[in-house]
Amino acid sequence: RAGEDRERENKEFQTTVSDQRATQKLLKAALTVLKEFYGKKSSLVQRSQEPVGPPPPAGFETYEKNEASGDVMSLIEQIATDAKAMEEEAIRGEEDAQKAYEDFVKETNASIEAKSKEIVNKSEEKASKEGELVEASKEKEAALLELEQLANYKAELHQSCDFVLKNFDVRQTARDEEVAALHQALAILSGSKFD
């Protein structure tokens, strides 16, 4: 968008400068003609001769140079000076606009480069974080698997402990009876008699 605006401004500048230069050229030519005409007083002054041809009709005066011609020439010179000043102003404006455009382009390019670097850095950081996330997910799955295995082992231990607790009295009685039977067998073997 800035490039299009700059092109349009440059075209306007080119038109303005060419118009002002053409105006100056035309005014210079007009001044040259007027100076030649009004500058030759001696060659245009009529000498006291008899007019050629019939006398002028009534109401016509003899031709004389316009005394206000100096004012017209000054006005034309002023217009030419104004056109030159306008051309110089347009050139200064064009130089300023071109410099501002170049500065804008430099700033924009620097900003784009900085943003591109930032995008690369953010992409690298994102990739790193995604890698960390994958690693953390694997670790979580391994921890959950280990927790599940531990829970299963706990259930098995609990089952065997429950079995021991439930059958403790039965086993205690059976052991007591076994111990008593062993004492009796020992006594029989040592020669004791039981009635």
* Residue 109: per-residue pLDDT: 93
DSSP letters, 41-67, are: HHHHSPPS-PPSSSPPPTTPPPP---T
Task: Summarize pLDDT for 90-99 with one digit per residue, the tens.
Answer: 889 889 988 9
Mean predicted confidence (pLDDT) in 180-186: 89
* Dist CA 172 CA 170 (whole Å): 5
pLDDT at residue number 6: 84
- The pLDDT tens digits for 121-150 are 999 999 999 999 999 999 999 999 999 999
